Amino acid sequence: MNKLRAFFYIIKLSLENLVKNWYMLLASVFVLFTGMYIMGTLIISSSSISSILNEQAEHPEVEIICRGEVSDDESLLIYRAILADERVDAAVMNTKEDNFRKMKETLKGYEEIFQYENASSDVLYVSFDIKLRSAAELEGFSEDMRRVTGVEEVQDNDSIYKYFRAISSVVRVVTIAAMIIMGFFSVLLTVNTIRLTVLARRKELRIMRDLGASYAFMRGPFVAEGVTIGLIGALLSYLAVKGTYSYLSKLLERSGSTIREIINLKPFSAYSAGLAFGFILGGLAVGLIASMLAIRKYIDNERDDEK
């Protein structure tokens, strides 16, 4: 029963301290929230980019665009040659009508600007969407297709792969830097918040010590204060990252089919458990470290006086 009363007393004191120093509480929570939000978005971005890279590597794709004057018979010959190639896993032929329909879908809402309502599909071209069996065959296959008569252009996803790989490296470096910088400032501000409470309650702490209170008990309210700040920052960061991710997912759903084919975001549930655990762990770590640093100087001085 005594331990339970002590626990509730510690919680009560920590909440009173946070209310008294609300301005420092807001500053600490804001810095912690900002740091966790940035780190959360960077971690998810890095994971999403890695997922895109893996998908691009596992399913190398090539688009072959024929010249506009290529006849139906000639395009069929090219299509049969593609299907006969052992490096090809799957291939789809897009007629001029198919590409014209895709163009209208992409430009939907801009009819007045582009004025294609009365246009004919003859102005477009026949194309082929191809999936290869291995990424190692991408460069050689693309070069072979460029030599085929009637082929005007060959587009592969190798450039996209290199682009996302470069971004992934930058994101990893920025994530590590953000963790170090924002972690430092989060601890620093939380230390100052708790230290103000220690200074304001120095007389009360001395009385508690004279009455026989242990150093562990004296640390209790400040540890609870730091943990509370950490958990508030973690909760707000999690909700903000989730809201941002949901917004971007909906924005991507409304975008063109070409973008959706390149960027395929996983549902947030794929990250939620790990993200929540990381935020809670980070918030607790910041709160505990800050509270221990804030009270350490006072405890050390008290021990020196006892000697």
Same domain, 149 and 82: yes
* pLDDT confidence bin for 48, thresholds 50/70/90: confident
Q: What percent of the chain has pLDDT over 90?
A: 5
Q: How far apart, in whole angstroms, are the C-alpha atoms of residue 241 and residue 272?
A: 10
Domain residues for 199? 2-56+161-306
Give the span between the Cα atoms of 1 and 249, in whole angstroms.
51
pLDDT of residue 53: 67
Beta strands in 16-100 (DSSP E): 61-66, 88-94
Task: Please tell me the distance from the alpha carbon of residue 31 to that of residue 283, in angstroms, as a whole number.
Answer: 12
Q: Is the pLDDT of residue 54 over 70?
A: no
DSSP state of 255: S
- Please indicate, yes or no, whether residues 25 and 116 belong to a single structural domain of this protein: no
Same domain for 93 and 21: no
Predicted local distance difference test score (pLDDT) of residue 161:
65
Q: pTM higher than 0.85, yes or no? A: no
The token pair at 184 is 């430092």
Kindly state the average pLDDT of the residues 203-224: 72
Digit-coded pLDDT (tens) for 101-126: 877 776 666 555 555 555 565 667 88
> Are 167 and 286 within one domain?
yes
d(CA 119, CA 104): 11
Assign residue 126 the CATH number of its domain. 3.30.70.3040
- Give how many domains the chain has, as a whole number: 2
Q: Are residues 261 and 199 in the same domain?
A: yes
Q: Do 77 and 122 share a domain, yes or no? A: yes
The residue among 256 and 266 whose pLDDT is bigger is 266
* Residues 71 and 197 both lie in one domain: no
Last residue of one domain, picked from the residues 115, 136, 156: 156
Alpha helices in 201-268 (DSSP H): 202-210, 215-253, 257-262
Indicate if 136 and 232 belong to the same structural domain: no
Is there a single domain that holds both residue 177 and residue 52? Answer: yes
Domain end position, chosen among 133, 156, 179: 156
Average pLDDT, the chain: 77
> What are the C-alpha distances in Å from 20 to residues 28, 30, 117, 197?
14, 17, 68, 9
Picking from 122, 156, 190, the residue at the C-terminal end of a domain is 156
Q: Are residues 152 and 177 in the same domain?
A: no
